[in-house]
Amino acid sequence: MRKIIFTMLLLPFLAISQNSTEYGVFENAILTPNPAQVTQFEKGLAEHNKKYHGEGPYGVRVYWISNGENTGSYVWTMGPFPWSTLDNRPAEKEGHDADWNTNVAAYMTADSGKQSYWQGHNDLSRFPKDFTIKKMLVDYYDVKRGKGDEVLKLVGKMNKLYAGKSPDETFGIYTNEFGSTKGGRDLAVISFFDKSAWLGEDHSVEKKYEEMYGAGSWGQFLKDWMEVTNGSETELWIYRSDLSGINGDVKVSDRR
């Protein structure tokens, strides 16, 4: 439980500049290659992203999922972008769709391509320093119906905790733009880390929380969290620079 709640806070929020009147969203697609055609799939995916998704709001990063029911699949992530730019995304007139169908989709399984859109919440996020994406811990939470605002209030308390007690941590918060009661993926939390040893570290979250909010407050937080969520699931993602259209560098100046 300590690790689940702690990692809830370490989500790098890759949002567009606050100077925009629109908020930033990410388009995520789960791609599952035919096991016998992984080499062809990766070659086609890399060439496609370098050609069509190498800059701007249509820039793409690719991650490989290393645990859970989606192990062996890839996450194709485009953005951040405001909704208004989606109508002008690369399409058939640039040869985009034909290239995708011929060189990428042809090597995927029939159930591949599940897609979702995620909004970042800048007011609940922190970017104290520049960093480079390497590995990611992704936590999905199923939020109970009508409890979205309460969940974000609790996340806000954790935001305050890390601002005061662990100021060097980088995190952000995403919510599913089109969540469903069946899907159970309403809130996504992504932690960036360099070495796997980070997963086993004790970050003393309970101690720090009670130092800030008082004795017994951690137990109350856990109780409150359980009352507004139905459960969670976790995935590990590995950044694949060789398959991506853009690099893994995240600049603080670009997120404010």
The fold of 2-255 is Alpha-Beta Plaits (3.30.70)
pLDDT at 22: 81
Domain residue ranges of the chain, discontinuous segments joined by +: 2-255
Cis ω before 12 (30° cut-off from 0):
no
For each successive 10 residues of the chain (256 residues), what is the average pLDDT?
43 37 90 98 98 95 96 96 92 87 96 91 81 91 96 95 85 88 89 89 93 97 97 96 95 68
pLDDT at 12: 34
pLDDT at 100: 96
